[in-house]
Chain A
């Protein structure tokens, strides 16, 4: 049975009622802050690697180059572990199709290696991928590794994918490979009307080895 309270709510109630017995010289607010800083997280659901992973992708944050057709896309996020610690130096490999659903297997277009910064953050620029033949949804593949943690293989999906017809909560299972709604991320549009860019946040959480 699931609790009706979030972890934060339980912490607040415990502190208010004095039932959380922790020897500390700090006040409840500081304690709550400290606890939240290392809040436990659920590992990101894994998803298939797919058949077009390619080793030795170049280290770059610019998958899109000037003149590339397709909707510009900016993806960013942070890498955590299940204890909530930010994984500085985590290595991400991302790969996707171009805007019409073609994987580059001869070269490294739309493939990149990224290194999470000191706060575990990463970002890259690309285009919204097209629909690959025989796959229902647009997606970006991720392989995330960090010392002392299990490698994470997953995929990012887009809530704006026409397949979901505006209701990813209801329709995310239209792609039989999507087992978790969590992997379908909201998309926001930014920029001038003539220069719109799609933005997506995708936080990732690795399990300890």
Chain B
């Protein structure tokens, strides 16, 4: 999915027009090498590091506090499709445009080097960081046991693959947002299918669990964010439909907020929007829209702050929203 919108995440121009309580403040600025821009980023769960997939197919890892470049990593020349930190921040994984799946430790040492059969569209770490799930385009999701360096499970094939994967934070559940429009919930202990959500007509593109694992938050091409009860697979709430497509979803650690980025499918180069929803009531808390640079990633960190990144040709900026 990401390859359809290679510059998409670079078009969310950061806007400082949010409600006062959620106004972004600039946290850090990182200069970029000449002719290099960042395409998308991942933030470590403690908010101390940012990993950026760059236009030169490198992944640059910065310390946010000191603004120092820690490492420059790569996928053997493949374009990175996705970058994720493990929940404890000890590992960084990246999936590439030709199937490379690499995992580095916090020192930048390459710990695992897998090769999947197709471009990797999504990856997810288990909460204890011992397992990694990856979705090769159009092929079954593969789950690997990192310590044993073995394939643990290969999920049933769906005709287009999966756009987003997630483990619940208690390690009980695993879910996939699949291109056949279904959301599938698996028991993460043995990866048996627990439930299928077949109510959606269009593809779900983003998916995450609520912090307590009781709900799945999903959104996609229909512009609707759907809250699903994990245990039953029933949709319990649908947030107000937007004209734009939901592309990324992040749940706050207290379970009260959901940050969602959207894009206009007919004007992909137009500025997208970041909306922050009240996860309990389903009401809109704030809209973050914009002017300069490009909002190209972000996540909630342990203290509940939402960190987002924006990129220009010269620099990467980190903003915080509380």
Contact = CB atoms under 8 A, between A and B. Distances in A.
Interface of A: 46, 48-56, 101-103, 105, 133-135, 143, 145, 151, 153, 176-177
B268 interface: yes
B7 A134 contact: yes
A51 B205 contact: yes
Given A102-B266, A105-B222, A48 B159 contact: no
A141 to B, nearest CB: 10
A103 B265 contact: yes
Contact of B5 (A49, A134, A153): A134
Contacts of B159: 49, 143, 145, 151, 153
Q: Which 5 A-B pairs have the closest CB atoms?
A: A49-B160, A151-B159, A134-B268, A133-B268, A49-B179
A50 B205 CA distance: 11
A180 to B, nearest CB: 14
17 contacts: A48-B138, A48-B160, A49-B159, A51-B179, A52-B202, A53-B160, A54-B181, A105-B202, A105-B221, A133-B268, A133-B269, A134-B6, A134-B8, A134-B269, A135-B4, A153-B159, A176-B3
Given A48-B3, A103-B265, A153-B159, A54 B202 contact: yes
B278 interface: no
Contacts of A48: 3-4, 137-138, 160
Most chain A Cβ neighbours within 10 Å, of B159, B179, B180, B205: B159
Contacts of B220: 51
B20 interface: no
Contact of A51 (B138, B201, B221): B221
Given A51-B221, A53-B160, A177 B179 contact: no
Interface string B250-291: 000000000000000111110000000000000000000000
B137 A52 contact: no
A54 B179 CA distance: 10
B203 A52 contact: yes
A176 to B, nearest CB: 8
Nearest to B223: A105
Nearest to A152: B159
Contacts of A53: 160, 179-181, 202-203
Interface of B: 1, 3-8, 137-138, 159-161, 163, 179-181, 200-203, 205, 220-222, 245, 265-269
A51 B1 contact: yes
A145 B158 CA distance: 12
A191 to B, nearest CB: 31
B164 to A, nearest CB: 12
Contact of B267 (A46, A103, A133, A151): A133
A55 B4 contact: no
A39 to B, nearest CB: 27
A153 B1 CA distance: 14
A52 B267 contact: no
A176 B3 CA distance: 9
B4 A134 contact: yes
Contact of A56 (B137, B180, B201): B201
A51 B245 contact: yes
Contacts of A46: 138
Nearest to A46: B138
A50 B160 CA distance: 9
A135 B266 CA distance: 11
Nearest to A106: B222
Contacts of B137: 48
Contacts of A102: 266
A52 B160 contact: no
Nearest to A134: B268
A19 B200 CA distance: 58
Contacts of B1: 51
A56 B181 CA distance: 11
Nearest to B267: A133
A55 B266 contact: no
Contacts of A51: 1, 4, 163, 179, 203, 205, 220-221, 245, 265
Contacts of A145: 159
B265 A49 contact: no
Contacts of A52: 202-203, 221, 265
A134 B265 CA distance: 10
A54 B200 CA distance: 9
A82 B222 CA distance: 36
A50 B4 contact: yes
A50 B138 CA distance: 11
Contacts of B3: 48, 176-177
